[in-house]
C-alpha cells in the first residue's frame, strides 16, 4: 500500500503555488438572498456550485461550513458531498469546517466521517474542538495520519466569548490555548516542510502572547466581515507568518453571484495576503 502524502506537505505546495488564501463556502440565508436565490435546496445547490466552479481551480483551500448544509438534512449533505468531491478534483484542498468534538467511539465516528477515504465526506482536513480534553481528539489525529489528512484544532478563536475558556489557566500557569498549541507542536515535531496538525487563531485578535511556533498551519479566520485585514497578520503572527492560512468567507462571497466577481475578489485578496506576509 502506498503511504499517502501528508496534508502538511500538500498544503505547503498549494500555498507556495496558489497563495495562502482559504475561501469559505457559507451558504447562509442572508447570502442566498443577496444572490437573488431562495433559501431552499435549489438555492443551496446553485450557490455552492457557482463558488466551487469559480474558485476551486485557483485557491489553495476551500472551506465549506458544514452547518449551512446540514440544515437542509440529507439533501443538503448530498450537495456538500458533491462540493467536496468537485473541489478536490479541481485541485483545491478542502477543509471541512465542522468543529466536531466528543469522546471515545463518538469521536471515532466523526473521524470516520471526515477523515476516512471511504467516506463520501472525506476531506483534506477538518476542524475540531479540543475542550473535552486534547486526548479526546486522538481518534481524529490518528485517522488523519493514516489517510494523509489534516486536523485544525480550535486554539485562539476570533469570537470574543472564546477567551472565557481559552484564556483560563491550567495548573502549571499556561493558558488552555497554549496547552493546545503545545500539544500540536509535539504532534508536528520533526515534520517537514510543514506539519499536518494546525491551530485556529483568529486574525481579529490583534496580538497574542501565545507561542504559535507549532510547525504546522495556522488558520486565521476573521478577515473581512469580522474586521481584520491582511495588513493585520504580520503583527499577530510574526515569525510564523509563512505558515498562516488566512480565511475569508463573506468578504469573497458577497462578490457573487458573478463567477468573475468571485474570482477577481479572491485574486485581489491572494495578492494582498502575499504582500502582507512576504
Catalytic residues: 99
Compute the distance between CA of residue 216 and CA of residue 38 in angstroms, rounded to an integer: 40
Compute the distance between CA of residue 244 and CA of residue 256 in angstroms, rounded to an integer: 26
Compute the distance between CA of residue 252 and CA of residue 265 in angstroms, rounded to an integer: 6
The secondary element (H helix, E strand) that includes residue 63 is strand 61-64
Compute the distance between CA of residue 240 and CA of residue 89 in angstroms, rounded to an integer: 30
CA atoms within 13 A on the CB side of 17: 13
Angle between helix 73-89 and 41-55 (nearest 10): 10
Are residues 22 and 276 in contact, defined by beta-carbon separation less than 8 angstroms?
no
Cell numbers given for 135: 486526548
Compute the distance between CA of residue 228 and CA of residue 204 in angstroms, rounded to an integer: 5
Amino acid at each position: 500500500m502506498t503511504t499517502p502524502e501528508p496534508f502538511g506537505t500538500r498544503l505547503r505546495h498549494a500555498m507556495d503555488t496558489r497563495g495562502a488564501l482559504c475561501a469559505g463556502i457559507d451558504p447562509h440565508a442572508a447570502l442566498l438572498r443577496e444572490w437573488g436565490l431562495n433559501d431552499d435546496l435549489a438555492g443551496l445547490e446553485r450557490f455552492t456550485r457557482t463558488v466551487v466552479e469559480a474558485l476551486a481551480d485557483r485557491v489553495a483551500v476551500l472551506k465549506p461550513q458544514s452547518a449551512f448544509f446540514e440544515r437542509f438534512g440529507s439533501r443538503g449533505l448530498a450537495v456538500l458531498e458533491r462540493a467536496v468531491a468537485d473541489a478536490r478534483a479541481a485541485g483545491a484542498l478542502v477543509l471541512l469546517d465542522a468543529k466536531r468534538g466528543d469522546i471515545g467511539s463518538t469521536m471515532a465516528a466523526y473521524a470516520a466521517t471526515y477523515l476516512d477515504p471511504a467516506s463520501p465526506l472525506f476531506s483534506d482536513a477538518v476542524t475540531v474542538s479540543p475542550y473535552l480534553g486534547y486526548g479526546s481528539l486522538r481518534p481524529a489525529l490518528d485517522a488523519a495520519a493514516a489517510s494523509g489528512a489534516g486536523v485544525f484544532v480550535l486554539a485562539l478563536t476570533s469570537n470574543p466569548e472564546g477567551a472565557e475558556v481559552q484564556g483560563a489557566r491550567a495548573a502549571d500557569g499556561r493558558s488552555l490555548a497554549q496547552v493546545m498549541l503545545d500539544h500540536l507542536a509535539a504532534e508536528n515535531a520533526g515534520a517537514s516542510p510543514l506539519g499536518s496538525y494546525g491551530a485556529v487563531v483568529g486574525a481579529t485578535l490583534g496580538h497574542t502572547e501565545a507561542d504559535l511556533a507549532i510547525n504546522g498551519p495556522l488558520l486565521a479566520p476573521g478577515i473581512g466581515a469580522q474586521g481584520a485585514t491582511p495588513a493585520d497578520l504580520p503583527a499577530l503572527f510574526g515569525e510564523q507568518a509563512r505558515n498562516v492560512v488566512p480565511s475569508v468567507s463573506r468578504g469573497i462571497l458577497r462578490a457573487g453571484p458573478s463567477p468573475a466577481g468571485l474570482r477577481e475578489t479572491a485574486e485581489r485578496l491572494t495578492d494582498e495576503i502575499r504582500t502582507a506576509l512576504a
